[in-house]
Structure 1
Amino acid sequence: MKRVTMADVAKYAGVSKSTISQYLNGRFDYMSEETRVKIGQAVKDLNYRPNMVARSLKQKSSTTIGVIVANILHVFSTQVIRAIEDFCHQRGFHVIVCNADDQPEKEKKYIEMLKAKQVDGIIAFPTGDNVELYQQLLDEGYPLVFMDRIVKELKVDTILLDNEEAARLAAETLLQGGYKHIAMISPPLLEQVTPRVERVNAFQESIQKMGQQHPEVSLITGKISTIYEKLDTLFQKDKHPDAIFAINDRVLHEVLSFLSRRNIQIPDDVAMINVDDVSFADFYNPPLTTISQPAFDMGKKAAEILFAVILKEKTDRHPETMRFKPILVRRKSC
């Protein structure tokens, strides 16, 4: 089937190619309403689709950015993506979302794919293992923003939660409840996964500041698939926890599944608090006390910074690490 070209549309509408180009780029200042309607009808009748590759080469912009997330199953990740997509849509940009599954090799392939597609910039939740590749992008002047994780070797604008404050809020809330034995549940503590390390360390420090009177803390870490079994072992002990701190939403799902199957009641048998204000938190029985990340604000900020670099609005700025304040949402689980 013959591809419809701009010249075909111009001939059908009885105008020049330059007028068609102005129409497609939204430049209507010197175009009559009659001409706009005529071109619109021609585009519709011929089912014309602009050649985006040729257009991007001419304009030196693909009007597309890439977002590489560590794990798209996290509530935080999906909310950030939505905020970025909303911001880009308002500016006529498209978003390609890539899920790296915290696998450096997968992340590497996505970086190379996005670069080959000539996206105008990348927002990434980095794995921490592709430092050289990201540095190459920076050396080439490629617009880049990191989300949720710090890579110490790279000077990149980075957006993340004030994880120490989030952990402190969790510790203070449980201390106020007078609990004696707290289980803190986390995925594997990997140095490159900034939120996990910061939250665990800050929570332990906040508890220890109580001195000799501080409650016992049992730290459970491991792959999500192992959390249930480890909780089962912990709760079979005579002095099992009377409170749980889940450091993210995926851990929370495993904890709630365990408590439900074991018929352990919240908050009568064990109190519950977690980071990430999951959608079901306010209608779970009982409603869950959570520490919310302002994910939409964080995603919007990341997009704003990326666009400032893409559009070269501030050529003298230096990369910053920006932390957003967590919000304690008190409900009835502790």
Structure 2
Amino acid sequence: MAGGQLVVAEHRIYVRSANGDRVEAVDPASGKTLWVTPGEARPLWAWRDRVALLVPGPKGELVIQVALDTRHGAEILLTSAALGIPDWVPLYDVAVQRRSVVHRVRVRSKGNDLWLAWWAQDQVITGVRPPAPEHESSGGVRVDLSTGAVAALDEPVLPPDPDQAVPASLSGWKLSKGQLWAPCRCGGPDKPVRAGRFAVSVALEIEQLEKQERVWLLRWRADTGQPAEPVLLHQGARLFTILTGDGDHVLTSEKARTWTIHDLETGRRRGQVSLHGLAEVSILGGRLFEIHGKDYRFRLDAYDIATGRRLWKRPLWSARQFSPVP
């Protein structure tokens, strides 16, 4: 499963370390650190007992390392060729008084390949009308996980899976992109994702009545494209809707900090939790993990989905620890 600062797998959580430049493997049950990478890295993708890390290569260029997660650390299995991401794009977001480098990385696996796309912008922050970005870059690559070979994509976006195309039977639906946020996922509300037996999409339908709206979970059979019965997730006051980083759940909220968790395949309500800033959210089993920050300091919290109770919390990095002076 993919993420930006938080990656979840079957038995591990991978996060940026407390100093902000390494990766820690965390026990999802206790929140304790199991191991830390010896050098600078960013969590990128995880599946079974493998984890993909974004790291600087020998000449400073960004590469992908695929590692075996053992009890004692990460055993490097493969290092890719250079990805071609510009050297001014950091492994982490930089936020300082006058400058901001913002970047987004999206990944997914297909067969024996790892697909990666990025977008980055370097901009001086000043007032309400900042100047044009000094640098801007986007691109995409396909990494062969057997050999480490890297091939550039013709388009700077990830190609959709066959089961992520919108079936013709749904062409009449009015899909909105307004309030749907899909971190580190290929696709959006009009490019659905796969969830179990179904291809699904979340559509925001605005009612004519003031401050009223409905949120539908649209579903159809991934194998045949035949539509299934839509599921009404919410009807009432306007709310926010996000997809979780694990890609299997959708969260809805109409009250500050209170989020209802829905299974993305069935629409079933799994629970309700009180969250903070939603820098990043993922779900693993019966637990929800949230990274949030305040005053440049970030924290990882774990919640029990059934009860909404917080199970543990641990400090992560402080942006001031590694933000360079402009």
Q: TM-score, normalised by structure 2?
A: 0.26
Which has the higher Rg, Structure 1 or Structure 2? 1
Q: Which has the higher strand share?
A: 2
Report 1 or 2 for greater relative contact order, CA contacts < 8 Å, sequence distance ≥ 6.
Answer: 1
Q: TM-score, normalised by structure 1?
A: 0.25
Q: Which has the higher helix share?
A: 1
